[in-house]
Amino acid sequence: MKFTKLDLDERLMRAVKASGFTEMTPIQEQAIPQALKGRDILGTAQTGTGKTAAFVLPILQYLLDNPPKRSKTRALIVTPTRELAEQVHEAVERLGQFTPIKAATVYGGVGFDTQKRALRKGTDIIVACPGRLLDHVRRGQADLGHVEFLVLDEADRMLDMGFLPDVRRIVEETPKQRRTMLFSATFPSELDRLAKEVLHKPERVEIGVAAPAETVDHWLYPVQQQEKTPLLLRLLETHEHESVLVFTRTKRRADRLTKQVKREGYKAAVLHSDRSQGQRQRALDGFRDGKYQILIATDIAARGLDVQGISHVINYDIPAGADDYIHRIGRTGRAERTGDALTLVTADDRGTIRDIERCIGEPLPVREVDDFAEGVKIRAPRKLPQRKSAASRRKAHELKKRSGNGEADTKEARRIPRKKTTTPIEKTTPSKRTRRPRKKKAAEKAAKPVPDDRRIPRRRTRKKTGRKQKAQA
């Protein structure tokens, strides 16, 4: 379905064309028409499907159709991370470039002054992270009482990061009469309860639930834990790549790996939560602009990082589960482009590999590089049935005929069923040898006479010593 079939404002259509959008993605095709009708949306979609435009365009269209009487914040978009907040803000600026609508971001790691001015001025759209937004609310610098459009993006990620109580407080600050859209990749029970609290008769939209993009090729590379860095450098040498995103499990490992990659002559940057906002932004901007060939990051970049042209995603450490794997590899193969997802695995990762393969629905192909895979078994050995060839079966049949055990003998042979006995089986008493001896009663033991020659111990007396003994003498 094309964007021209939507009843969008002419200024928004100009921005859509300028952004190079012609055909809607499945999530946009299902969510945008329902949102334009005023319905609440409960969306489940994999990353990289155009989900951001699915809620930004309805917000912009609503604000243009209902101009404000005075300046106030009318739309609020809540995201779990700063990077995702910046990405959504860029999408709002790009799609609303020909409109008077203004947007601002509110998140931690930067000063309060600029954000305070944007909130007091009544910026039309605020894209915020929960923690910093609540700080402004407590200080009386943010008024959410006029919000008409609320979007909770990557709600499951906010649940994982412990932001769900903050999200509930933010929802309480907004009016009950509003439009709400909630997007999440998964729906655990606690998040399901939140959706019932904040949404009113929502339209359910599900696209590509728990499945990776079809434009991504997956490969597993068995390796010992201590050989991961040499294997990573070998892959960087042998693979033709434009830009590579490497995921590690810990921040310390990301810092150490970045130094090792730089030492080999690659232009690399690191991204994790211990970096300041300025350092994180410079790393992202340099990676987008091509200044850095490699970006080494933790799972902070697994969701919401929209960088065009990532050719390879390398999992230096396998993710904790299948959902995290799908979000990681969703950074490549975006917008119908192809990409490669390479995962370095050890023998300890068998369980996670099995979960990922069960989620994808097919086994992941394995590539072995030189001696790196020696001694690493990532799958349990399978016992294949031994089938005889046609020639061996023919030879065995001829030998059977020669020995007189041909087909005629086998046909005449019948297994005679065993007849059931109808006569009752007599009970036999156990023999004297097998009978257990009866225990003697206590009365018989007491009646047994004591032998006369039994010696009774004599009581020893203590010799008298001292003054009394002398007096007797």
Out of 52-66, 248-262, 319-333, which region has the weakest mean confidence (pLDDT)?
319-333
Q: Tokens representing 468?
A: 């009394």
Question: Is pLDDT above 70 for 95?
Answer: yes
Give per-residue pLDDT as tens, 287-312. 988 899 999 998 876 665 667 778 88
Q: Cα separation of 64 and 10, whole Å?
A: 11
pLDDT score of 276: 83
The reported pTM is 0.64
Q: Are 51 and 152 in contact (CB under 8 A)?
A: no
Question: Is pLDDT above 70 for 472?
Answer: no
Out of 203-217, 311-325, 419-433, which region has the weakest mean confidence (pLDDT)?
419-433
> Which pLDDT band holds residue 122 (cuts at 50, 70, 90)?
confident
Cα of 412 vs its chain's centroid, Å: 63
| Percent of all residues in the chain with a pLDDT value above 90, rounded to a whole number | 40
Q: Tokens representing 69?
A: 């009487």
Question: What's the per-residue H, E or C state across the chain?
Answer: CEHHHCCCCHHHHHHHHHCCCCECCHHHHHHHHHHHCCCCEEEEECCCCCHHHHHHHHHHHHHHHCCCCCCCCCEEEECCCHHHHHHHHHHHHHHCCCCCCCEEEECCCCCCHHHHHHHHHCCCEEEECHHHHHHHHHCCCCCCCCCCEEEECCHHHHHHCCCHHHHHHHHHHCCCCCEEEEECCCCCHHHHHHHHHHCCCCEEEEECCCCCCCCEEEEEEECCHHHHHHHHHHHHHHCCCCCEEEECCCHHHHHHHHHHHHHCCCCEEEECCCCCHHHHHHHHHHHHHCCCCEEEECHHHCCCCCCCCCCEEEECCCCCCHHHHHHHHCCCCCCCCCEEEEEEECHHHHHHHHHHHHHHCCCCCECCCCCCCCCCCCCCCCCCCCCCCHHHHHHHHHHHHHCCCCHHHHHHCCCCCCCCCCCCCCCCCCCCCCCCCCCCCHHHHHHCCCCCCCCCCCCCCCCCCCHHHHHHC
Return all residues near 24 (Cβ < 8 A) that are at least 6 apart: 1, 2, 3, 32, 50
More confident residue, 368 or 467: 368
Give per-residue pLDDT as tens, 198-251. 999 999 988 755 556 667 888 999 999 999 999 999 999 988 788 899 999 999
Domains of the chain: 3-207 (3.40.50.300), 216-360 (3.40.50.300)
Q: Tokens representing 59?
A: 């917000």
More confident residue, 45 or 120: 120
Neighbour-count burial of 184, counting CB atoms closer than 10 A to its CB (0-12 exposed, 13-18 middle, 19+ buried) = buried
